[in-house]
Structure 1
Amino acid sequence: MTPRRRDILRIGGAGALTACWPGWAAAVSAGVPVAPVSAGGTDIELRIAHQMLRIGGRETHAIGINGTVPGPLIRLREGQDVRLTVVNDLADEDTSIHWHGLLLPFQMDGVPGISFPGIRAGSRFTYEFPIRQSGTYWYHSHSGLQEQMGHYGPIVIDPAGADPIAHDREHVIVLSDHSPIHPHTIFQRLKQQGGYFNYQKQTLAGQLAGRDQTAAERRAWGKMRMDPTDISDVTGSTYTYLVNGRGPVGGWTALFRPGERVRLRFINASAMTIFNVRIPGLRMSVVATDGLPVRPVTVDEFQIANAETYDVIVAPVDDRAYGLVAEAIDRSGMAFATLTPRAGLLAAAPPLRRRPVVTMKDMGMDMSAMDPDMVDMSSMHMGMRDSRNAPGLPLGPGVQTISPMPADRTAEPGQGLADVGGKVLVYTDLVAADRNPDVRAPSRKLEIHLTGNMERYMWAFDGKKLNEVKDPIPFTAGERVRITLINDTMMNHPIHLHGHFFELVTGHGDHAPRKHTVNVQPGGMVTFDLTADAVGDWAFHCHMLYHMHAGMMQVVSVRPAKAA
C-alpha cells in the first residue's frame, strides 16, 4: 500500500461517527430482532435534520434521520398498513424519502417532480401504503445529493407467515461511503476532471516491475485518451467506507454462537461505491436478493452494487473471530467489521488486494478470440463510435463511445473478481425460490443504451439527459416487455426501476431471479422481462448518485389499458 492508502485505513477508517447511532447499529450487535421505530410499528415519525459527525478526528457535516446515521431500522410485517410521517427540519431545502424496492402507489414513491412535489423545509408529509412483500429493503432521500450526506436507513419486512429462510440470529449490515467534502463540491470536481479522485494511476515504477499494462498497451490507451485505472469515480482518497456508520478500524461487531445459522442482511446504501464482500475462512450461502428468496448458492465472495441487497446465511462452528470485508471495487479502501463469538475478540483486517484495470472487454470489445499483437487499438477506438451498433443514437459530446461488441456478462464475476480464487457469485447463479408470478412471453422488445463521457462527466440514457427528454418511456398496464440495457461506457451502472420487480433473462425460465436493481458491467448488456403492473409515473435511473445527478435518469409511465 502507498502511504496515502495506508493512511486512509489507519486514520480515515479508524474514526467512528461520534453522533448517536440507532439501537440496531450498536457497536456490538447481539443480533436480536429490533422493535419497530414506534410501538405497534404502524405509525412512524422520521425527522430529517442537519447534524455534525466526527470521522477520524474530523468533524463533518451530515444529514441524519431522528438524529442518527444511518437512520432508524424500520421493521414491518407483510400484510399490515403503515403510516410514515416525515418531518423536514432542514433549514432551507426540500427533502423526500423513497422506499427503495417497495411496491406501493406511485404517489407514495417519494420522487420529487415525478410522484409528488417534495417536502418543503419546516413541513411534513405522511406516506401511507399497505405492505405487500417481505425481505430486506432500505430507504433514502431522492432530493439533490442528500443521500451522500447520510440520509438513508434500512427496512426489514417480516413475512406474514413462517419465514422461508431458517436462521437462529440475524444482523442488518448497511454499507456506505462518507466524505468530508460536500457532495456538490465532489460533483463539481468530477465535472472539471473525471479522474480527479483516482490516486491509483499507472506509474513508471509499476511498468518496470511488470505490473498492469505493457508499454505498447499504455501508448495505445494514451492515444485514445482513456485511463485503464478509472474504475470508480469517487475513491478512498476522500471516502471512508462504513459498516452501520462505523469505519473499518475499531468498528462494528456482530455476535454469534458457534453452530448457529446467522442471517446477514446486506444493504449497499453507498452513493458511489460497489463493494466486494467476503468473510475469509467462512463460506456464505446467498438466500435472497433485493428482498426476494432465491435457491441457496454457496459462495466465497459476492459483489454488491449500489442499492442492491443480498441476504446470506453463515454457520460458523469455530470459537474465533471472522473479518467481514467489504472492499471497494477499485480497492482504494474497505469497510470492515467483525463477526465474533464474544465482545472484545476482534478480527484483523486483511491488506487491500491489487486494484484491477479496465480491459478491452470493458470497452465493449471482446478480444479473447483475437491475437492481441494484431489489434490496432486506435482503429478499434474509431469503431467504438460507429453508430451502426446503435441506430438513431446521437453521437456528440455526451456520447463518447458506442460498444462495437457488447456482451451479456451476467455469467461473469464483477469487475476485478475473475482471478481472486474461490467461488464468486454471478447473476446466472441466482434462481428464484418460487415460480415467477407472470411467465408470459413478452409482446414487445425495448433496447436502451447507457451512454456517457467520462472526461466531461456526462451521463444519460440513449444520449439524452432527463431534462432533454420530452416524453416518458410509455408502457400499458399489464403488458409484458423485454428490455435490454447496453452499456456503451467503461463504468459500471447499477440500474433501478421504481415500483416494479423484473425477471433477469439468464436461462432459468419460470424461476428467473426477480430484482429491482441490476448492475450492467462496462461494455456489457443485461436483459430482463418486465410486467408493467403498477399504473403511474416511475423513476428509472442509474443508482450511482452522481451519474443520476448528471442526467442518467428517465421516467417510465404506465398507463391503464384502454377498454375494448
Structure 2
Amino acid sequence: MSRTGRRRLHLGRQRLRLAVACGATALIVGLLGVFWYNSRLPASYSVMDMGHAEYGGGPIGSMPHDGHDGHAGGEEPAADGAASAVPALTADQGGAPDVEMTLVARAERFQPPSGDWVDGYTLNGQSPGPVLRVTAGELVQVRLENESVAEGVTLHWHGLELPNADDGVAGVTQDAVAIGAEHTYRFVADQPGTFWYHSHQLSHEQVRRGVLGALVVLPQQATSPDADPPDADPADADVVALVHRYGGKSTVNGHRDDLRIPAAPNQRVRVRVINTENGPMSAWVGGASFRLVAVDGRDLHEPTLLEGTAVLVTAGGRADLEVTMPTDGSGVRVQLGGSAVVLGPASAEAAEVPRPAETVDLLSYGTPADLGIDWGTPDRRFDYDIGRRPGFLDGRPGMWWTINGRLYPEVPAYMVAEGDIVVVHIANHSGEVHPMHLHGHHAVVLRRDGEPATGSPWWVDSLNVSDGESYDLGFVATNPGIWMYHCHNLPHASEGLVAHLMYEGVTTPFVLGGPAGNEPE
C-alpha cells in the first residue's frame, strides 16, 4: 500500500475512533440526562404516588393507593373496605382536655440555660421547649402557634402511639403551620413512658436548631387500698435528661455544665435519658449500680443490676436508668456522652469515670415474657435493606442511600391491613450506622444477625442498626394510618432514607411541596 493509502487508512481509523468515542460520550451524557430528568421531584406530589407497593405475601387490598396499583405477584384482592382519610383518624373530640398547653414557635436568637447564644428556634421563648408531663389516660390538647418560623413548623410526638391525624408530619398527616396560623393536637396519652416532641417540617434543620422538648407520661396511681400499687413510689425522684447539642456543644436540658439533682441517701432516682441527636450516644453510671428499666417508653421485664456497663441510646431513642442512691450520702454521676447528671446532696462529689468497655446487650438482658403472638407465621414479611450507591436525587448527583436497592422516591410502600402480624427484616449494608424510627408503632426485636432474643421483650420505636447488622422485628398492625419509617439521623432522611408503612384503605389529602411548602425531612 502506498504512503498516501496508509495515511488515508490511518485517518479513517482515527475518525472512526473519534466517532465511536463521541457516540459513546453522547450515549452516556444522554443516559445521565435521562436519569437526571427522571430523578427530579414535582413541585407537589403525594406519598401515595411514591415508589411501589410491597404486600409482604399478604393480599392486595381492593382499594390500592394511587401509584401503587401495579404490583401483582399473583395475589388476589382482599374484600371490599371503606376508605379512611387521615384527618378522620383522631381521638375523641368531645369533652374538655385534662392537660392543655399552647406552644408558640419563633425563629430567633436565644440563650439556652448553657448561656451560649444560638441562632435558631424556640417554643414559648425557650429551647428545649417546656417539659410536657401527663398521666396515662389523660386527654392532651396542645395548640401550636407559628409566630415567625418562615418555612412553617409542625410537632411530632416521637414514640407515642397516637392516632395518625396527630402524628405531626408535614405533607403526610397535616400541612406545615404557616406564620400567623395555628394547629391543635388532641390525643389520649395512654402509654406510660419517656417520649419527646419535635418538628417534622424540615426536621434536619429545625430539630438541630431548637424545635424540640421532652414528653413524659406517668403511670396512673392506685385509687383505693385494694388497687394495684403504683409503678413508682411517689417519694422517688424522677429526672428528665434531654441531651442536645447547641452550636456543637453537648447539653442536658440545655445545661452545658453538670446538671445537679438533689437526691437523699437510699432514694431511688429514675433518670429518663432522651437522645435528640443524629447519632448513637453512650450512657453510664459512676458511684452506684443501676438498672435499665425501660427502653423507648416500654418497661423491661425483670431487669437486673448493672455495674461497669454502658447503655447505648440510639438517635431518637430513650433509656430509663434507675439508680438507688448510696447510703453514705455520696454522689452519683450519670454520664451522657459529653454531658452529665449528678445526683446527691448539694455538697456531694461525683468524680468522672471513663466509659466502661462493656455495653449491655438488650438481646439477652432481663428475662423473657410471653407476648402471646406467633411470630413464626406472620401475615406479612417485609425486607428493609439499606444500601448506598451513586445516582441522582431530585436532580442532584451524589452518593445516596437506597432501600432495597432503589433511590428515593422509588422506595417501598409497606402495605398492611389492620390486625396483621408483621415481621420486618432490616439489614444495613451502607457503610454507616442508621437509627431506624417507625412512627405510630413499637416493634419487638426477634433476632439480631440471626440470633434469637433471649432476654426481656425488647420493644423499640428507634433502633440502632450498625453497618453489617441485621434485625428481625415484629409488630401487630393496630394503628391505621400512613406512617413514616425512616432514619433518625435526620440528614440521612433528607438524603432519601425514608419509606412508609401504609394501611389498606387509608388515604391522605396532604401533599409534599405544594402551597404549604411541606418538606418533612
**CA distance, structure 2, for counterparts of residue 253 and residue 307 of structure 1:** 24
Q: Which runs of 5+ in 1 are unaligned?
A: 1-38, 180-238, 328-333, 354-419
- The structure whose Rg is larger is 2
Q: Which amino acid aligns with 2:462?
A: T
Q: Which runs of 5+ in 2 are unaligned?
A: 1-95, 222-228, 391-396, 507-521
Pair 555,268 (structure 1): closer, same or farther in 2 beyond 3 Å: same
Moved over 6 A (4+): none
**CA distance, structure 2, for counterparts of residue 132 and residue 432 of structure 1:** 25
Match of 1:427 in 2: 362
**8 A Cα contact 1:436 1:511, kept in partner:** no
Match of 1:311 in 2: 320
Q: 2:380 aligns with which of 444, 450, 457?
A: 444
Q: Which amino acid aligns with 2:101?
A: I
Written as runs of structure 1 = structure 2, the 5 A alignment for 1:41-52 is 41-52=98-109
Match of 1:281 in 2: 287
Q: Which amino acid aligns with 2:150?
A: D
Pair 69,77 (structure 1): closer, same or farther in 2 beyond 3 Å: same
Give the TM-score of the pair, scaled to structure 1: 0.64
**CA distance, structure 2, for counterparts of residue 524 and residue 510 of structure 1:** 19
Match of 2:311 in 1: 302
Match of 1:324 in 2: 334
**CA distance, structure 2, for counterparts of residue 90 and residue 40 of structure 1:** 27
The Cα shift of 1:141 comes to 0.7
**CA distance, structure 2, for counterparts of residue 339 and residue 277 of structure 1:** 15
Cα deviation, 1:441-468, whole Å, max 9, x if unaligned, reads: 4133211111235994522322434434
**8 A Cα contact 2:161 2:440, kept in partner:** yes
Match of 1:474 in 2: 415
Q: 2:230 aligns with which of 155, 159, 163?
A: 163
Written as runs of structure 1 = structure 2, the 5 A alignment for 1:157-556 is 157-161=217-221, 162-166=229-233, 168-179=236-247, 239-247=248-256, 250-270=257-277, 272-295=278-301, 296-299=303-306, 300-317=309-326, 318-327=328-337, 334-342=338-346, 345-349=348-352, 420-421=356-357, 423-431=358-366, 435-436=370-371, 438-439=373-374, 441-452=377-388, 456=398, 458-469=400-411, 472-506=413-447, 507-508=452-453, 512-556=457-501
Match of 1:216 in 2: none
The question of 1:135 aligning with 2:145 is answered: no
Q: Which amino acid aligns with 2:130?
A: P
Pair 91,141 (structure 1): closer, same or farther in 2 beyond 3 Å: closer
Q: 2:151 aligns with which of 93, 99, 124?
A: 93
Cα deviation, 1:451-507, whole Å, max 9, x if unaligned, reads: 2359945223224344344x6221121111211111002221111110111111044
Cα deviation, 1:503-557, whole Å, max 9, x if unaligned, reads: 1104458963222111111110111012111111001101011111111111110
Q: Which amino acid aligns with 2:333?
A: G
Pair 91,315 (structure 1): closer, same or farther in 2 beyond 3 Å: closer
The Cα shift of 1:350 comes to 5.0
The Cα shift of 1:98 comes to 0.3
Partner secondary structure for residue 442 of structure 1:
coil
**CA distance, structure 1, for counterparts of residue 455 and residue 145 of structure 2:** 43
Pair 72,482 (structure 1): closer, same or farther in 2 beyond 3 Å: same
**CA distance, structure 2, for counterparts of residue 505 and residue 434 of structure 1:** 13
**CA distance, structure 1, for counterparts of residue 121 and residue 258 of structure 2:** 21
**8 A Cα contact 1:535 1:560, kept in partner:** no
The question of 1:73 aligning with 2:131 is answered: yes
Report which stretch shifted further, 162-171 or 304-313. 162-171
**CA distance, structure 2, for counterparts of residue 508 and residue 57 of structure 1:** 45
Question: Which of the pair has the greater relative contact order for Cα pairs under 8 Å at 6+ separation?
Answer: 2
Q: Count the aligned residue pairs.
A: 385
**8 A Cα contact 1:262 1:314, kept in partner:** yes
Pair 463,53 (structure 1): closer, same or farther in 2 beyond 3 Å: farther
**CA distance, structure 2, for counterparts of residue 460 and residue 323 of structure 1:** 41
**CA distance, structure 2, for counterparts of residue 63 and residue 432 of structure 1:** 43
The Cα shift of 1:165 comes to 4.3
Q: Which amino acid aligns with 2:494?
A: H
**8 A Cα contact 1:294 1:433, kept in partner:** no
Q: Which amino acid aligns with 1:472?
A: A
**8 A Cα contact 1:465 1:553, kept in partner:** no
Give the TM-score of the pair, scaled to structure 2: 0.69
Q: Which amino acid aligns with 2:437?
A: H
Pair 48,447 (structure 1): closer, same or farther in 2 beyond 3 Å: same
The Cα shift of 1:44 comes to 1.3
The Cα shift of 1:432 comes to 7.6
Pair 154,438 (structure 1): closer, same or farther in 2 beyond 3 Å: farther
Q: Which amino acid aligns with 1:53?
A: F
Pair 282,546 (structure 1): closer, same or farther in 2 beyond 3 Å: same
Percent of paired sites with the same residue: 25
Match of 1:147 in 2: 207
The Cα shift of 1:101 comes to 1.1
**CA distance, structure 1, for counterparts of residue 108 and residue 349 of structure 2:** 30
Q: 1:122 aligns with which of 169, 176, 180?
A: 180
Q: Which amino acid aligns with 2:471?
A: V
The question of 1:112 aligning with 2:137 is answered: no
